[in-house]
A and B are shown apart, each in its own frame.
Chain A
Amino acid sequence: MKVKVISRSTDEFTRERSQDLQKVFRNYDPNIRSQERAVEYTRALKAAKLEKIFARPFIGAMDGHIDAVSCMAKNPNHLNGIFSGSVDGDIRLWSLTSRKTVCHFPGHQGNVRGLSVSTDGETLVSCGTDSTVRLWTVPDYRNKSAGESAGNAVAPIAVYVWKHAFWDVDHQWGQNIFATVGAQVDIWDHDRSEPVNTFKWGNDTFISVRFNPGEPDLFATTSSDRSIILYDLRMSSPARKLIMKTRCNSLSWNPMEPMNFTAANEDTNCYSYDARKMDEPKCVHADHVSAVMDIDYSPTGREFVTGSYDRTVRIFNYNGDHSKEIYHTKRMQRVFCVKYTCDGSYVISGSDDTNLRLWKAKASEQLGILLPRERRKQEYLDAVKDRYKHLPEVRRIVRHRHLPKPIYKAANLRRTMIGAERKKDQRRRAHSAPGSMPVQPFRKRRIIKEEE
């Protein structure tokens, strides 16, 4: 006879001293855990609910400007710092950690329309409706605390006066060149008081300009004749022009896929284009109920933030046709500029009510350092939420966002209008000769023509 039975001595399975860690034994056999699916589903549901409870994206407001904030710039070389320009000509540098002004850049006489920082983070370029471009040395604010330097003012290193009012400025990646737009597109060198190059296509005002992050010579502008124009610095004339039905207020290149850019349009939508194939947008991002004023991509290129005239900030996936987040507060007015921070974890909005607001990019993310256990737990909950996101109960909770009443009503109204239009179109098609009204997708309908 051979016999063996399970025998456990208590000493082997418990700790020796009270200072020791408790011993843990694992057995991953699925048989000792029954109803795994139900348990996971319950956890997913609970995680979805908790996510909603902890969704508190607003971190704080930065007040100090005495007029609406019209533009912002982030310093590519320094995380904690954002420049903002105001309609009254005030430019400030803010420390994001203390949410206070670090220093001022006085000098502009009118609205500061554009701000940009060189790639090395040393030079700030500003332009405004006073027809001047000013270059500033960015102070070394790492050693300064915010309190003592509240009255700290910096003088410009150069002031270049030009023929027309400026609307926007953007610095080239890696070199000492920047572009301004206004009545025409001017290319400037840091050391020259006059533009080194000028582009023009049509007679209308240019609104915004953005250099391509991957191909330094390439840049795009939008203008008030509803066009998006692509330029190459190595050529003497603009490369390509796309005319849409409504104008674009701003555009932003995807930093990870630099052939793609997204334009914030006046017709409440954003349009993602492939610069190589502009005959139709790759994606239409709809959700705003009023003109989209500004757009900025996250450094990961997976999402972008938009600010709108409807007093909300929304975050979209780069390929999502609807927004995944909406941020709003009672006191935030029309949003003129938005920026993603360089680490991709915060969003900053500047609005008509003279404040900059700091938001979390992921509304329910826990700030600060996570312990490894906490992080693993969070990863697990995210995974089960992802696995059960299709179930109606989980989906309902995950999708729900509270909307302010005016936005809710406006969205309903827009839906009704679009539905009515579609219905009318269908009826018209049903009563006309077959083939006389070709079906055109919405994406193509918004484009008038493309010129070379």
Chain B
Amino acid sequence: METEKLKVGAEHGKFEELDPKAKKYLRGDGANLEALLDKKLKGQLSVKEKLFGQSAKAAAMTEKWLMPTEHGYLEAEGLEKTWRIKQETILQEVDIISSRQPFDMVLKDLGPYKVEYTLSGRYMLVGGRKGHLALIDLITMNLIKEFQVRETLRDVVFLHNEQFFAVAQKKYPYIYNGHGTEIHCLKEHGAPLRLQFLDKHFLLVSINKLGQLHYQDVTTGEIVANYRTGLGRTDVMRVNPYNSIISLGHVGGKVTMWKPTASKPLVTMLCHHGPVTAIAFHRSGHLMATAGVDRKIKLWDIRKFQALRTYSGHAQSLDFSQKGLLAMSNGSQVQIWRDSGENHYYRRYMSHSMAKGYQVGKVCFRPYEDVLGIGHSMGITSILVPGSGEPNFDSWVANPYETKQQRREKEVHSLLDKLQPETIMLDPTKIGTVKPLRKKERPNRAEAEAELDAVVEKAKSITFKNKTKGRSKPSKKAKKKEEAVLKAKRTLGEHLQAEERPFKKLKPDGADLPKSLQRFAKKKAS
């Protein structure tokens, strides 16, 4: 037994020693084997843990061969500041292929524009407010299709690949294919303000003018869910890529999080005093950025639902890059912030100002490239942001150089792996785990009785001092004893009740709630 303990301890030690590169492949900490009583299970698990450690090490080892591309960077030298470096200066320094990435398209008439990239970052979809749609291949810089829908266009979103995209138009959302042919008109959704697509679940999500949230399965056409938010009209909607939860920002300053299988929001957070203007999620799923009209930009830890940082400033649009850079736009200014070390302390990294009078509508990082797409009132722009994109892609996850054959195969496989709406939950790692045991079992009847007996016995055995003037009469003594027993019983009863319902007592004052949620706690009736 002793030796086994030591061995397990040693293995734990090994995990600690793993370099940070390998640690990321471990997907969290190992099981706590010390606490296990079942020897057989302990043995099996320790073998498994060992395997996990080995595979993480192997993955880290093979990185240098499998992942040839290095990530980008921008470093200041001397008195320079990275945010003072202009795009033109960067362009002079970088190689010729990268210098072709940024462009500026002036499209005066049909703006302001929305920009959207596919998951692989190869294709860009551009939608002008007045009905102009264009699908662009960014590697060959070909215009694949350009057409006009001739009505108000509020949002564009790609479906599972570049062959299909959904467009939020004046009255309904529509689905078009790559040739610009209208495939579907989704009348159930009403007049949509914002669209999102959950690629693993094949769900198209829309929020309409009446504040209704619709989830539609694009493979079967079935409306999976339809909920009233009841919090008014909003066009701030973002999907959390970590768990596919939809977040809505409302005019009252609340942010609500929704899943298709619950008619009430999972979480309601009061984030701002005043309307929320933008939400963005970090890829890791722990970090949310919100911006409000109250001139605040906040970073939230959405595991604890606590504000980590609050910055002052306006932002019409926010976006996190794959490497965790945060882009925000305000008027004609675009700023990019970067996490300066640990603790999510974001600081200015780059800034870019458009020509005066341009109103930036949407900023959007291009996946797997160091590029930021900007849709504004006078067209679209893309700029270089070194260090924003993931340098190495996985051919089986998102491949920018996908052939037709590969695309078709991937479509079939992703359809086979389509997740059911039930798998959307706040903590996606919960699937397949067991419910933890209740920590403290309620005392059973025999135990409660024994405790009561003990208390009564103790109360009875109290001896009283002899007092004068008839106060120590036997009758008085008996009465005193009776009172003591009653008192002991009463206190025990209260004690037990308090243990039984800890929540009811604690909830009203909201002391256990995180600070941001305390204001929602019910006030005590006074």
Interface residues of A (CB under 8 A from B): 1-10, 13-14, 22-43, 46, 387-388, 390-391
Contacts and interface: CB of A to CB of B under 8 A. Distances in A.
Contact of A34 (B76, B428, B430): B428
A300 B389 CA distance: 52
B484 to A, nearest CB: 41
Given A5-B98, A10-B401, A28-B59, A35 B423 contact: yes
Interface stretch (B67-75, B174-182, B331-339): B67-75
A36 B397 CA distance: 12
Interface string B399-422: 111010010000000001111100
B463 interface: no
B321 to A, nearest CB: 12
Nearest to A33: B397
B243 A34 contact: yes
A268 to B, nearest CB: 30
Contacts of B242: 34-35
A42 B418 CA distance: 8
B363 interface: no
A5 B370 CA distance: 6
29 contacts: A2-B73, A2-B74, A3-B94, A4-B73, A5-B72, A5-B94, A5-B370, A6-B72, A6-B389, A7-B97, A8-B400, A10-B401, A25-B394, A26-B67, A26-B394, A27-B393, A32-B322, A32-B394, A32-B397, A34-B242, A34-B283, A34-B428, A35-B423, A37-B430, A38-B200, A39-B200, A39-B417, A42-B420, A46-B417
Given A1-B89, A39-B200, A30 B25 contact: yes
Contact of A27 (B67, B285, B431): B67
Interface in B77-94: 77, 80, 85, 89-90, 93-94
A3 B71 CA distance: 11
B392 A30 contact: no
A379 to B, nearest CB: 14
Given A1-B85, A25-B66, A31 B384 contact: no
Give me the 3 closest cross-chain CB pairs, A-B, nearest first. A38-B423, A5-B370, A5-B72
A42 B428 CA distance: 13
Interface string B243-268: 11000000000000000000000000
Given A13-B401, A38-B423, A41-B431, A27 B66 contact: yes
Nearest to B429: A37
Nearest to A387: B432
Nearest to A26: B66
A27 B139 contact: no
A391 B432 contact: yes
Contacts of A7: 94-95, 97-98
Interface residues of B, number: 67
Interface in B366-410: 368-370, 384, 386, 389-401, 403, 406
A33 B139 CA distance: 24
Contacts of B431: 37-38, 41
A309 to B, nearest CB: 37
Contacts of A36: 27
Contacts, number: 146
B243 A25 contact: no
A31 B324 CA distance: 12
A3 to B, nearest CB: 5
Contact of B419 (A9, A31, A33, A35): A35
A4 B66 contact: no
Contact of A24 (B89, B395, B416): B395
A38 B76 CA distance: 43
Residue in A14, A31, A33, A36 whose Cβ sees the most chain B Cβ within 10 Å: A31
Interface in B447-504: none
Given A25-B393, A31-B284, A6 B417 contact: no
Given A29-B24, A38-B200, A388-B432, A4 B243 contact: no
B70 A4 contact: yes
B201 to A, nearest CB: 9
Contacts of A387: 432
Interface in B193-250: 200, 241-244
Given A5-B370, A14-B401, A25-B399, 20 more contacts: A2-B77, A3-B75, A3-B90, A3-B93, A3-B94, A4-B72, A5-B98, A7-B95, A22-B406, A24-B395, A26-B394, A28-B25, A29-B25, A30-B25, A32-B398, A35-B200, A37-B430, A37-B432, A38-B200, A46-B416
Contact of B71 (A6, A8, A33): A6
Nearest to A38: B423
B428 A43 contact: no
B86 to A, nearest CB: 11
Given A3-B386, A27-B394, A41 B423 contact: yes
Nearest to A2: B75
A299 to B, nearest CB: 26
Contacts of A2: 73-75, 77
Contacts of B369: 6
Contacts of B72: 3-6
Nearest to B97: A7
Nearest to B66: A26
B392 A27 contact: yes
Contacts of A42: 417-420, 423
Contacts of B418: 42
B99 to A, nearest CB: 9
Contacts of B429: 37
B74 A3 contact: yes
A89 B168 CA distance: 82
Nearest to A394: B432
A35 B285 CA distance: 11
Contacts of B386: 3-5
A308 B71 CA distance: 67
Contacts of A40: 432
Contact of B392 (A25, A33, A38): A25
A3 B94 CA distance: 7
A40 B27 CA distance: 15
A32 B390 contact: yes
A33 B398 CA distance: 10
Contacts of B75: 1-3
Nearest to B243: A35
Nearest to B82: A1
A14 B395 CA distance: 11
Contacts of A29: 24-25, 390
A15 to B, nearest CB: 9
Contacts of A22: 403, 406
A43 B417 CA distance: 6
Interface string B34-75: 000000000000000000000000010000001101111111
Contacts of B428: 34-35, 37-38
